[in-house]
Amino acid sequence: MKVSTRGDYASRALLSLALHQGSERPTSVTELSRRTGLPQPYLEQILLTLKGAGLVTSRRGASGGYILSRDPSQITLAQIVSAVDGPLTLGNFGAPHENGACEHEGQCVLRDVWAQVGSHMREHLRSYTLADMVDRARGMAPGEQQVAGR
């Protein structure tokens, strides 16, 4: 599996929002683009998609922008990537045939393996939350408490 540019950019944008979550105001697209180095027009499209998926909310006006719609511990990398790229799969190989009725040599065996690999990949991405990424970005092990003055 290859994470698309959209998946990477969406993850980077939401991580930036999570890193600055304590702020009283939403983050503008311009500020988010500056902080992440992502191109603003493309970032605007991605944020609209993320809003449609319910991962961010927006506010209009001079002090408007985007904020996470829920706590970073409740948003997984799988949800982010799926929101912008669709379902996480290795490909559309179809379901394995039942009762060993394969049409071509080895086809069923490989379909079953691809399905298992896809399942493992989805589960792995579900195991990472934005809160975990915030901890890593701040140099902490996932779940480690930040010590005052650190």
Q: Which stretches of 53-106 are DSSP H helices?
A: 77-85
pLDDT tens digits for range 15-42: 999 999 887 789 999 999 999 999 999 9
Q: For each of the chain's 150 residues, which pLDDT tens digit applies? A: 677 899 999 999 999 999 998 877 899 999 999 999 999 999 999 999 999 999 999 998 888 899 999 999 999 999 999 999 887 766 665 555 555 556 666 667 777 787 888 888 889 999 999 999 999 998 976 556 555 444
CB atoms within 10 A of CB 109: 11
For the chain, the domains span 5-87+129-137
**Full-model pTM:** 0.80
Q: Which token pair is 1?
A: 């599996």
Q: How far apart are CA 110 and CA 55, in angstroms?
A: 35
5-87+129-137 CATH pick, 3.40.50.10490, 1.10.540.10, 3.40.50.1370, 1.10.10.10 = 1.10.10.10
